[in-house]
């Protein structure tokens, strides 16, 4: 799945998405801004103004959009928009449920919002954490998946291995990973015992190859970039984790992070999200799930070329690094 859709379907998809957020109070400003950014930067249709489009019902949408791939794209964008209402409302959650049922699409994200609607925030948080740990081995660095790094590696062998990448040629992938930890002040995975170290390596390598920074909006954009590269439940779970932690703000699925609220509620973040979906859709493979240790010695530029990672339009916008 790419987030790109057939040009003839853009308007109806946008009108359907508008319908999913058109509660009795209307769409929020953040939701409208995100929708317009999708039109402008993901689908390259700035001629369509979300303020002049009329929403369509779930029934109309289901009659018009019959392609399963497009329905899946719609659903993932719908869930993103749904989690971008602050404060969240029962009407919004129920409306999202209606559209998903009409399209015959379900997901882990939908299960979390249904829990939120029918059982409350505690149940939703429990389910979000269950989903996070269910996919943790699949999102981890392949060589490390299944290892309990919270109780082994007392010799810090993983950290030593990563730190040795500083001896690789400048601007190689491994060198760039060490640069990433120094620039952003993160501890090198393995320097502390943690069950998430295997995830951190894969996640941080994905930051480096995409060149997307570590701001809350950047974390959501990175997960959306991943889903655009690879249409699977693994990457859907990554996007859900980012949205729950950095946008919905009712729980952090990563116990080392504090939840953020409304990280997408500004023009820069909306632009970033849509632009990174477009960049991810242009990739010819999913580099987030490959064996990064096997690529560490290669020039970063070669790895990016191998997966067709295009440069951002503005590499100096504060949301990117290692592109100049």
* pLDDT over 80 at 255, yes or no: no
Q: Which residues contact 25 (CB under 8 A, 6 or more apart)?
A: 89, 91
Handedness of CA 285, 286, 289, 295 (dihedral sign): positive
**Residue 225, both tokens:** 């970039």
Residue 214, burial from CB neighbour count under 10 angstroms (0-12, 13-18, 19+): middle
**Residue 238, both tokens:** 């990554």
Task: Tell me the pLDDT tens digit for each residue of 202-238.
Answer: 999 999 999 999 999 999 999 999 999 998 999 999 9
Q: If you average pLDDT over every residue of the chain, what do you get?
A: 94
Q: Which residues contact 162 (CB under 8 A, 6 or more apart)?
A: 174, 177, 178, 181, 188, 189, 190, 201
Task: Tell me the pLDDT tens digit for each residue of 149-204.
Answer: 776 666 678 999 999 999 999 999 999 999 999 999 999 998 988 889 999 999 99
Cis peptide before 87 (omega within 30 of 0): yes
The pLDDT of residue 146 is 78
Band (pLDDT 50/70/90 cuts) for residue 308 is: very high
Question: Pick from 70, 126, 137: which is nearest to 103 by CA?
Answer: 70
Helix axes 108-119, 121-139, angle to 10 degrees: 160
- For the chain, counts of helices (H) and of strands (E): 14, 0
Q: What is the DSSP string of 39-107?
A: IIIIS--TTS-TTT-----HHHHHHH---HHHHHHHHHHHHHHHTT-SS--HHHHHHHHHHHHHHT---
d(CA 118, CA 123): 9
Strongest mean pLDDT among 169-173, 245-249, 251-255 = 169-173
Task: Tell me the pLDDT tens digit for each residue of 13-48.
Answer: 999 999 999 999 999 999 999 999 999 999 999 999
**Residue 311, both tokens:** 């440069």
- ∠ CA 267-272-278, rounded to 5°: 130
The pLDDT of residue 323 is 96
**Residue 279, both tokens:** 């960049």
Tell me if 319 sits within 8 A of 217, measured CB to CB.
Answer: yes
Q: What is the DSSP string of 236-253?
A: HHHHHHHHIIIII-S--S
pTM: 0.95
d(CA 252, CA 244): 7
Tell me if 43 sits within 8 A of 10, measured CB to CB.
Answer: yes
* pLDDT over 90 at 109, yes or no: yes
**Percent of the chain at pLDDT exceeding 90:** 87
Q: Which residues contact 81 (CB under 8 A, 6 or more apart)?
A: 17, 20, 21, 31, 34, 35
**Percent of the chain at pLDDT exceeding 70:** 98
The pLDDT of residue 250 is 79
For the CA atoms of 226, 230, 233, 235, what is the dihedral angle to 10 degrees? -10
Least confident of 14-18, 72-76, 194-198, 317-321: 194-198
d(CA 238, CA 106): 16
Question: Pick from 279, 274, 271, 273: which is nearest to 304 by CA?
Answer: 279
Task: Tell me the pLDDT tens digit for each residue of 112-150.
Answer: 999 999 999 899 999 999 999 999 999 999 999 877 777
């Amino acid at each position: 799945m790419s987030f790109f859709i057939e040009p003839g379907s853009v308007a109806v998809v946008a009108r359907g998405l508008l319908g999913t957020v058109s509660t009795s109070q209307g769409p929020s400003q953040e939701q409208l801004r995100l929708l317009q950014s999708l039109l402008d930067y993901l689908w390259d249709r700035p001629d369509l103004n979300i303020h002049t489009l009329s929403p369509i019902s779930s029934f109309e949408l289901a009659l018009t959009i019959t392609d399963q791939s497009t329905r899946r794209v719609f659903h993932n964008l719908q869930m993103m928009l749904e989690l971008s209402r602050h404060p969240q409302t029962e009407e919004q959650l129920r409306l999202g449920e209606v559209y998903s049922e009409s399209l015959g699409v379900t997901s882990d994200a939908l299960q979390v919002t249904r829990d939120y609607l029918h059982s409350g925030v505690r149940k939703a948080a429990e389910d979000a954490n269950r989903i996070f740990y269910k996919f943790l081995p699949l999102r981890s660095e392949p060589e490390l998946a299944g290892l309990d790094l919270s109780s082994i590696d007392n010799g810090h062998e993983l950290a030593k291995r990563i730190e040795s990448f500083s001896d690789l040629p400048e601007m190689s992938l491994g060198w760039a990973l060490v640069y990433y930890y120094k620039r952003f002040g993160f501890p090198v995975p393995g320097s502390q015992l943690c069950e998430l170290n295997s995830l951190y390596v894969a996640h941080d390598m994905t930051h480096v190859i995409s060149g997307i920074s570590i701001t809350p909006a950047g974390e959501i954009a990175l997960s959306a970039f991943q889903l655009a590269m690879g249409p699977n439940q693994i990457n859907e779970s990554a996007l859900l984790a980012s949205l729950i932690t950095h946008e919905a703000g009712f729980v952090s699925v990563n116990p080392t992070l504090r939840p953020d609220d409304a990280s997408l509620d500004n023009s820069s973040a909306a632009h970033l999200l849509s632009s990174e979906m477009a960049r991810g859709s242009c990739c010819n493979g999913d580099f987030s799930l490959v064996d990064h240790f096997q690529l560490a010695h290669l020039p970063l530029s070669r790895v990016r070329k191998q997966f067709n990672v295009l440069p951002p339009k503005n590499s100096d916008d504060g949301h990117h690094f290692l592109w100049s």
